[in-house]
Structure 1
Amino acid sequence: MHPVLHRLDELAAHLATRDDTVALLGLGSAGAQRARLDDHSDLDFLLVVTDGAKWRYVDRLDWLEAPCPVAYSFAHHRSGRRALYSDGVYAEFLVLTPAELSRVPFSGARVVWRRDGAPAGLAQSEAPVPRDAYDTVDFHVNDALTCLYTGLHLELRGERLAASRFIQTRAVDAVIALMRLSAGEPPYRDPFDPARRVERAYPADVLPLAAMVPGYAANLAAARTTFAWLSRRYPVDPAIGAAIRGLLGRSADYQ
């Protein structure tokens, strides 16, 4: 058994001995998508506890250390922690009551253990998974174009880090959304992070990520690549297209 799944089963066995626990849900590759487990997988889970017990599980880690000592941990959320076990298993978790669980968006959960009488449907979130405001080709094309436009102005101002986030992150996220709409849903798509597993979904000759995301000092080259990619595949409004070309020219002179 994969070490991540084994650790989750060990936790489940211990939690079943406590009377203030309700269920343990695996997420990600420890959840319903176990086929993507590999040597780099971590342990993501939700622990559901009774009302009033939450802080005992967030603030004290004796339950987490029942299978193996924890070498390092910190609170990354008011309801959870990230932790590194001494044997190398890395975990990230939230502790929630049943009422809180119904308000947290998640997908691909698997019930590892549940107490008899626990509420039904624990693995299905009632909260909607966040989506783009307008998940259409027109929206994502123009979102990418305006991110390039804003990013190039930031680059000219000398705000290179902020520019890189518009040009090499936000615009590229819009490009990935366009790929999803045109090529279909990629396997194991993460609805919370479009960058996850994108390299496996689209070959480099279709989506040239190395050229779209070349790094902090290469915003101009990144913008040229992404703008050219968009222009070859989609109609570009003449006004924003001309404005971006003008900024690309000014940026070249500036450098």
Structure 2
Amino acid sequence: MKKAAYEQYSEQLRQKLTADPRVLGLVALGSMAQQDYQPDEWSDHDFFVITIHGVQEDMRQDLSWLPRAEEIIFHFKETEHGMKVLYADGHLLEFAILNEDELQVARLNRYRVLLDKVELTSNLAELMLSTEDFVAQSRRSPNHCFAELLMNILVGVGRHARGEYLSGRQFIKTYALSHLLKFLREHDSAENVQLLDNLDLLRRFELVFPGLGAEVNEILEKESLTAAEELLAMAVREFRPFLVEFPEAAVVQVQQAIVRAKQAEGEDL
């Protein structure tokens, strides 16, 4: 969706909800919030609709309150409060419909209030602070992250070696990777660190850390055992300066497991 059409849709949505007596507020999220970055042609509309009590499910079932509702070709209820909606032109909406009480269970980082009939500002500010506290409490020490990464690689290599390729790939390229990215986001300095999304490890990582992002993407293109080997080497390089006691023996064991799995795979060819 082009920028002008994107802005037009946002305004049409705001106007329709302004006239809807069930609606108390509209909060733009992500690119729609236009805080640290602007929407582009790939951006969806991501938002919260805050309502009076008792109308949320009706609004999820009957989407006539959305602009161009007649052009909707697909929609489904993704979570208790959330919906995804697809238009005939390929444009995607991701939104949640919540009353004021339900809003308190949501997570919120970047946002912009487009409609506020009941002074939601203070509630939203508190919600963003509680989200930041939640993220801070979920942080783990470098030692813990490295330990998790090591064991994820070891398990992944074992799964791959016994022919469980999907599970092995998941442990190596998803679980182990997540601990590396979490660590890099928290310990590597960057000029544009505000572009990162504290609720999604992967979002805009390459924009903030272009060198590291390119290295990780190159590793992920490789088959699982080589990816495990190179991901481990990268992790050792990045983590070592931050670990009080480096688990050398454990690293060697994981490296040897990779070698054994590669040898076994070669013998099967």
Evaluate the alpha carbon distance shift between residue 17 and residue 66 of structure 1 in structure 2; reply closer, same or farther with a 3 A threshold. farther
Provide the residue aligned with 2:243 in structure 1: none
CA distance in 2, matches of 1:254, 1:56: 58
Shift of 1:88: 3.6
Provide the residue aligned with 1:121 in structure 2: 122
2:232 to 220, 227, 231: 227
SS at match of 2:211: coil
Pair 1:172-2:177 in alignment: yes
The 10-residue stretch of structure 1 (64-73 or 188-197) with the greater mean CA deviation from structure 2: 64-73
Contact 1:58 1:81 (8 Å CA) reproduced: yes
Contact 1:80 1:94 (8 Å CA) reproduced: yes
Runs of 4+ in 1 over 4 A off after TM superposition: none
Provide the residue aligned with 1:14 in structure 2: 16
Provide the residue aligned with 1:209 in structure 2: 216
Residue 153 of structure 1 aligns with an amino acid whose one-letter code is: G
Contact 1:23 1:47 (8 Å CA) reproduced: yes
Question: In the comparison of the two structures, how many residue pairs are matched?
Answer: 252
Deviation string, structure 1 residues 17-66 (Cα, Å, up to 9, x no partner): 12111000000000143633211111100000000111111110000145
Q: Give me the CA root mean square deviation.
A: 2.2
Contact 2:72 2:86 (8 Å CA) reproduced: yes
CA distance in 2, matches of 1:193, 1:65: 29
CA distance in 2, matches of 1:90, 1:207: 28
CA distance in 2, matches of 1:68, 1:6: 17
Residue 215 of structure 2 aligns with an amino acid whose one-letter code is: P
CA distance in 2, matches of 1:120, 1:201: 30
Pair 1:156-2:161 in alignment: yes
Contact 1:44 1:92 (8 Å CA) reproduced: yes
Contact 1:167 1:223 (8 Å CA) reproduced: yes
Provide the residue aligned with 1:40 in structure 2: 42
Provide the residue aligned with 1:96 in structure 2: 98
SS at match of 2:97: strand
Output the TM-score relative to the length of structure 1: 0.89
- Percent pairwise identity: 21
CA distance in 1, matches of 2:110, 2:212: 30
The 10-residue stretch of structure 1 (22-31 or 239-248) with the greater mean CA deviation from structure 2: 239-248
Contact 1:7 1:67 (8 Å CA) reproduced: no
What are the residue-to-residue correspondences of 1:191-206 with 2, within 5 Å?
191-204=198-211
Higher helix share: 2
Output the TM-score relative to the length of structure 2: 0.85
1:70 to 69, 72, 80: 72
Deviation string, structure 1 residues 106-129 (Cα, Å, up to 9, x no partner): 2111101111x3444243326435
CA distance in 1, matches of 2:17, 2:36: 22
Deviation string, structure 1 residues 135-155 (Cα, Å, up to 9, x no partner): 332222222112111111111
1:243 to 244, 253, 259: 253
SS at match of 1:187: helix
Deviation string, structure 1 residues 69-115 (Cα, Å, up to 9, x no partner): 32221221232321122344311111000000011112111101111
